[in-house]
Structure 1
């Protein structure tokens, strides 16, 4: 059922029963923020209390003898590449959609841990104003992006390498998709979490990494891919630019979204044809939808509102949501091939459903969003789940 803002605000205001959510409403926060705060308050505070005593761990604590880089260089191996059974010592070969369990994934794991813990702590700080949460969120930022002994170098030269083929590939840039919500969360923190000098150092790290994404050969190649990798590049660039105040880059991405990203990837029926052609069409369709919806949400604030934008033929976020909604509601209706892996672990709570429900005025999307699992445990699903704290996005 469609709803207007006044009806939605009234409904939300009438159901708020939690303390900080009420003060957010009184302060004039949006109805969406209040609704998400009410929905997620218990989940956020439970997670934040669990993460509060956990010390930050960065990539410098975990070395791989396979890495061609140094202790501060992020390293990962391409997921879908395996030893060649005909030449065990030769270059690895591709098996699309089938992750090699022997790969080195420790750097990914600690980055994902960062992306889970630091935004949850920040969300808890927003809800409670308990400075302990902000301070611990700042500790993570300082360890990863400031402290010389533990910081990560601001590039991904050695990400998703392939044995016998490459020490690193442009496709590896998708690994730092897990820094998107970290950057988002950092924008809400101030002196309660970091000194002014440390906060500037954090922003400088993201400024340098964004420059590498834009100007390195790997970064340029990734931007021109024609599937979810380009969408993920754009979401990263948008959020890193948001943190550093780079509105020129964000304006360029808005134009790219309208002129190329959307028309090149979205079919007239709202599907993502290039994702449907993969061996995990269900997973990748949801993933690209969530990232594209996150990108549209990220770019709100000036210029064209991409959450409601549509091409002349109707293609846009609302069309993509219309296509996927029935299959998120009932996976049994999925008319395409089942994913070769992890099909049973889906769907989980889709941030795209929330963003599209708000933008496209479809209450049923939000109703479904509320029922889906916000805490996936399958490692592959977690790897493709970069937006976990919608409170930071609405």
Structure 2
């Protein structure tokens, strides 16, 4: 499958290199970027990651005091209120110095790597799949602060969207400035030192997935711009930063390798690349990535029976099989906006997203026992209810198709925000 990705790379790089600008761009480059964005294709994609019609219907349901959606709304609003008190914690607050000697570079440790007890210095760290080393969550590196930042942006953005209270948007913009734009605190647009392994690697391709939730920032930018409350300088600065990060993703050898891993990391890579391209108006390039995903992702990762062996061989097989399929589902939703239908794609051998969901259905319904390892507390059954069942509800909404009879209420375990972003179809259209 490597040749498929490289074909895309040669195509996109020739176009992107003409428009991407550096971190220290001059005002002339900023003006150029602004003019370039005005010249985006005529394709109206709306919000990159979400179905706006569904979201508008949810807002309508909330205003009508629908019990289900109104209750979820107040839970989301409560989380947004708490996020108003979140104190910015930029990458420059870490105490561990990256190999580059630049605190602005993101740094994290591989979560499943541990010191080798058989060696005095413990080096190099060794793998213990599925078992998180608490050191990887420490304040001396950036993973936890990165997670907290994206989490705050997510809660603030959606609280603003559903309540239209500008306090949430203003707080989110303040945090975005600290994380991305302020010279003293900004993060550099690369993940050169993500998921480092002491004694083995300063950074690894697996680190690329740690910025998947940057999608929350893109959504925030779109919502605030649509409502006319996004400062022009923030828009210009973020367009430059996103262009620089996209450039890193499609030119850095380690990042490119992340897109060639033939498992969930490759799908997380696509999610970021396509999302950035769509946001920046590079829709033709985004189309090529999505089109290539038919062979490079669906045909390569899903077996004719619908199983995902590279994910199901992990020690947390339920999570990985669910996570990987959901990532492909998100790409499918983005592809629909670009006019490409991944949901309908099927190989001659029967490999398809539909087959993958069909394979998991008996486990969601509880009529078959999960055959693979799941080392978390409660085993496969608890993990299926926590992760897999909600994804079936979300996917039914994202794909506008009923994957399981609504009487099974797969939406029961949805998180409050997911219940609003991916509203259960049967509840969204029910009569009061």
Work out whether residues 293 and 355 of structure 1, in 8 Å CA contact, stay in contact via their aligned partners in 2.
no
Work out whether residues 77 and 105 of structure 1, in 8 Å CA contact, stay in contact via their aligned partners in 2.
no
What pairs with 1:46-125 in structure 2 (closer than 5 Å)? 46-65=78-97, 69-89=101-121, 90-106=123-139, 107-125=142-160
Q: How many residues align?
A: 359
- Structure 1 distance, partners of 2:239, 2:420, is 22
Matched, 1:273 2:309: yes
- Structure 1 distance, partners of 2:77, 2:329, is 26
Matched, 1:354 2:393: yes
- Structure 2 distance, partners of 1:341, 1:201, is 42
Cα 1:21/1:299, change in 2 over 3 Å:
farther
| Structure 1: stretches of 5+ with no match in the other structure | 1-8, 23-34, 376-387
Cα 1:46/1:265, change in 2 over 3 Å:
same
Cα 1:293/1:309, change in 2 over 3 Å:
same
- Structure 1 distance, partners of 2:220, 2:154, is 5
Spell out, residue by residue over 1:314-339, the C-alpha distance to the aligned partner (whole angstroms, 9 max, x if none): 43333222222333444x94432332
**Greater Rg, structure 1 or structure 2?**
2
Work out whether residues 44 and 124 of structure 1, in 8 Å CA contact, stay in contact via their aligned partners in 2.
yes
**1:264: Cα distance to partner?**
0.5
Asked which structure has the greater RCO (Cα within 8 Å, sep 6+), the reply is 2
Q: TM-score, normalised by structure 1?
A: 0.81
Spell out, residue by residue over 1:198-218, the C-alpha distance to the aligned partner (whole angstroms, 9 max, x if none): 112112211111110110011
**1:114: Cα distance to partner?**
2.0
- Structure 2 distance, partners of 1:68, 1:88, is 27
Matched, 1:146 2:181: yes
State the secondary structure of the residue aligned to 1:76: strand
- Structure 2 distance, partners of 1:216, 1:298, is 24
| Structure 2: stretches of 5+ with no match in the other structure | 1-52, 424-432
Work out whether residues 111 and 133 of structure 2, in 8 Å CA contact, stay in contact via their aligned partners in 1.
yes
- Structure 1 distance, partners of 2:65, 2:217, is 23
- Structure 1 distance, partners of 2:358, 2:372, is 20
Q: TM-score, normalised by structure 2?
A: 0.74
- Structure 2 distance, partners of 1:88, 1:137, is 46
